[in-house]
Structure 1
């Protein structure tokens, strides 16, 4: 296997997410890999989010973006509106822009999510007040 963090070609970009730099989210402090920057995405906003025990993203909604959520490792937890769901590894969800949501970890295990927003609107999220 090639030991290169990022490979660019004429037709694709590739990155080893396990070796990529993780940065904290501005709103929640949750670590993530910004695949938008790493891969040069222009039509979507993919990120890999790592949630340690007791970690949580902000409770938020989007203005324009629908979001695709996929559990890479878990089991994971998500709040959609007032409902809190256990989400098993390998599960995918689509959440429309206006629906409030929050990925959180109230377990003893690390969780990893792939979250993709489209269209690629910057700063589209609105942090909501907790109930």
Structure 2
């Protein structure tokens, strides 16, 4: 579904990403094309128990924000290893060499948001506009 100022996709449950994902990486569902995103890339991710990202990577221009929403694992950036779990947020700059693994006893679920580093010129306090319009909902 979409309108002039919005688009909606049903991405499915996180627990079905491994079996339902048609993206090139199992367990990863990229949303840029599906939602027509113009300023970021977002992916929904499921990494099974014992799973690992089998390569290091970095970016030319984009920073990444990893939001962990279930399970636990370990993240590695520039050789530093730290624990991640539900509620952990990790920002990695473009040059940060990164990888992660699931060393927990259930699937690891996370969202990755990728955007050009240094591109944010406004945010909620400087970009948001509260409208003088009452909120209504149809039944």
Shorter chain as normaliser: what TM range?
A: 0.7 to 0.9
Q: Are residue 38 (structure 1) and residue 37 (structure 2) matched?
A: no
Equivalent residue, structure 2, for 1:22: 21
Equivalent residue, structure 1, for 2:6: 12
Q: How does 1:48-127 map to 2 (within 5 A)?
A: 48-57=44-53, 58-119=55-116
Q: Is the 8 A contact 1:76 1:89 kept in 2?
A: no
Secondary structure at 1:18 match in 2: coil
TM-score (norm 1): 0.74
TM-score (norm 2): 0.70
Matches of 1:22 and 1:62 in 2, distance apart? 23
Q: Which has the higher helix share?
A: 2
Matches of 1:106 and 1:30 in 2, distance apart? 18
- Is the radius of gyration larger for structure 1 or structure 2? 2
* Corresponding residue pairs, total: 111
Q: Which has the higher strand share?
A: 1
Q: Is the 8 A contact 1:43 1:118 kept in 2?
A: yes
User: Cα–Cα, structure 1 residues 60 and 97, in superposed 2: closer, same or farther, change >3 Å?
Assistant: same
In the alignment, structure 2 segments of 5+ residues that lack a partner are: 117-139
CA RMSD of aligned residues (A): 2.1
Q: Residue deviations 1:69-89, cap 9 Å, x none?
A: 100212232111212211121
